[in-house]
């Protein structure tokens, strides 16, 4: 699945996208956006924030399960917002596009959801 596929099948949505700021993934900027289709038909990205992260990792930020490791603040915000707004949420990093598991997030914070 690509971001173009998301624009066709999953609008509106929340997404967090990793941009590599150098030649490797030691410096990244994560854009957190709400994405929707405007009345005129074009896709609109509304910025909800961003995070910059520095690490010693030089490859895609994937954990041992192969899932994208989100930055803490915006990672928690996108999952919480997706539950409150009842929107699908996706993480994009390089060629990897993943739908976020909101059930797992709800289990972490049962008193809130």
Q: How far is CA 113 from each of CA 34, 70, 82, rounded to the nearest angstrom?
A: 21, 21, 12
CA-CA-CA-CA torsion sign (94, 3, 17, 67): negative
pLDDT (tens digit per residue) in 54-98? 888 888 899 888 899 999 889 899 999 999 999 999 999 999 999
Domain locations along the chain: 3-108
| Other C-beta atoms lying within 10 Å of the C-beta of residue 22 | 9
Enter the pTM of the model: 0.90
């Amino acid at each position: 699945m690509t971001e173009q596929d998301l624009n066709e099948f999953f609008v509106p949505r929340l997404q967090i996208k990793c941009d590599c700021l150098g030649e490797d993934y030691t410096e990244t900027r994560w854009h957190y956006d709400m994405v929707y289709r405007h009345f005129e038909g074009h896709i609109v990205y509304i910025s909800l924030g961003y995070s910059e992260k520095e690490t010693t990792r030089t490859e895609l930020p994937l954990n041992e399960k192969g899932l994208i490791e989100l930055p803490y603040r915006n990672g928690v915000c996108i999952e919480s917002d997706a539950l409150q707004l009842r929107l699908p949420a996706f993480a994009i990093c390089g060629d990897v596009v993943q739908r976020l598991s909101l059930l797992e997030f709800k289990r972490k914070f049962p008193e809130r959801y």
